[in-house]
With several copies, the nearest count.
Chain A
């Protein structure tokens, strides 16, 4: 099987672009901004300002391209590695950061943004996307739901149940698997003996698409098709986006233990941002001053988000009892009183 590709590594185009030059420049800007966020987070983690961080460097096209095919009010359920996607669907950088600082308020996107907080349990969230989309259909809305997950997640039983429910109930769900080659230390070949993850789709009676996940245009194209089908009531689609995480699994991981520098270099040459830059250059949509300026303002936006996140006041001790239920139960009240009496530890 050959992955669908529209944009070659050297920036030349196969066929028609799925978006015009202006939109391409907007998406390029988004990818650069996301990468600025990513490197800022890595830096902050080293400084002890963030807890463990999971970099998405190398996966920007898969995330920005797929989200570009959604409507603003569509649902997105994603993982710890999908900050770029979540942000592009409307989640605030500041909230993503706040979450990484260990503050539950980071889990709350703005009111009109239909993005769940990042899922850390591998596998469990895809069925949530099935339920979300299903609920929309039942209520007569044409909103769809997209789940983002990794190659490792396809091994969990919940992946299977999600795919199967989506097939049986023909729910408006897009399953976007970013196959970035590894699940922590385990290469894709150790997750399944199937040649492609895409091979799994037929077992659920749904279309499966293999796509170059570092190709922004191909990502937009295949996701748009899948979203179109879902919105038209024609059911779910499984997309396997071939990509690579250039960094370690998280900031606590030592990737040198399980993969070679050569492999990383090979993938760096397929960088999703470089590819679009080359295309823009070929198409007359790029000049250095423009990129310098957008990179500058991207960094500015991220710095602002950091300042915003870091200036959020700590919770009061009792807050943990208010977050669990709509109205605190008698148990919450008793325990709040006990904490107040004895004080929390440090």
Chain B
């Protein structure tokens, strides 16, 4: 056990994967010599050399496309895209090829690669550096999309993603990279993909979120307990596939649901969760499912970003609303 923050936990997972499986290779911009813009790959180039930890030209489509080819031929590539806002040039490779090769070759070929992408706002970053467009990946057939919110989950889910025989988009909440430390086992362990987890028990309302919004949801839950509201917080962890059973069970239990994401609202994950809840738990609902989301706007720059990324105030307001309904 070592106390690690989320970035260090990911580094530890990558280190183990590189050490234990010769097929594992890292590929990305500035991940080698400098250890990545967030230092998540720190020290790995020095430890495993430039053939295992590969600094790539500035070309996201090329990086994902090359990794895709590598994966088909037996390598286990782990790609880093510098920020989610720079993943769009690679979107065609992901939707048209990475997510399809198993289907289009009827299992003859597969592409077990992991695409790690820091995402999300809340730190007043420059344009394009605060994207939260995870829904477009969750909407993409043939891939899995997961988001850890704790160091423990980050390591175990990344190791599970690497072991997965199918492609996984692994989103890392920038805002949580160094936010908290947690005891994390030194050895390999797997946190299964596709499974949500309850991070706080509660009986009045179910709060669904993932990534950095889990922390905001917990903050709100704590605050609301002072008002006598018992809020359950569920970390979805996996966006594709979504753990519908966990969602539906919680909604049926409490009868009140709020979903929190920092992404654009229209056709985002909050809408998906709301659709599922009403579909399978309608008759238990005591109030409409509230969506607390980023707006359908570009993430505003530092000066107004707090009007966009949900936090204590907006989450609490939504919870109070479902309580009063």
Residues of A at under 8 Å CB distance from B? Answer: 51-52, 75, 77, 80, 99, 101-105, 107-109, 111, 116-117, 120-125, 127-136, 138-139, 145, 152-153, 155-158, 161-162, 164-165, 168-169, 183-186, 190-192, 252-254, 257-258, 314-315, 317, 319-321, 323-327, 329-332, 334-335, 339, 341-346
Contact = CB atoms under 8 A, between A and B. Distances in A.
- Name the residue in B241, B245, B265 with the highest tally of chain A Cβ atoms < 10 Å from its Cβ: B241
Contacts of B129: 120
Contacts of B75: 134-135, 138-139
Given A258-B33, A320-B297, A326-B164, 14 more contacts: A99-B301, A107-B106, A111-B108, A127-B61, A127-B62, A128-B66, A131-B73, A132-B72, A138-B51, A156-B89, A184-B34, A254-B34, A321-B295, A343-B313
Contacts of B55: 185-186, 190
Contact of B302 (A51, A145, A341): A51
B162 to A, nearest CB: 14
Contact of B307 (A123, A158, A320): A320
A130 B69 contact: yes
Contacts of A253: 34
A231 to B, nearest CB: 15
Given A101-B303, A324-B298, A184 B62 contact: no
Give the interface size class of chain B. Answer: 35 or more
Contacts of A157: 59, 61-62, 89
B305 interface: yes
B62 A101 contact: no
Contacts of A108: 105-108
In the A-B complex, the 7 residue pairs with the closest CB atoms = A131-B69, A102-B302, A345-B311, A161-B62, A127-B65, A344-B307, A135-B73
Contacts of A107: 104-106, 108
- Name the residue in B29, B35, B304 with the highest tally of chain A Cβ atoms < 10 Å from its Cβ: B304
A289 to B, nearest CB: 40
Interface stretch (B6-14, B119-127, B250-258): B119-127
Interface in B85-138: 85-86, 89, 92-93, 96-97, 101-110, 124-129
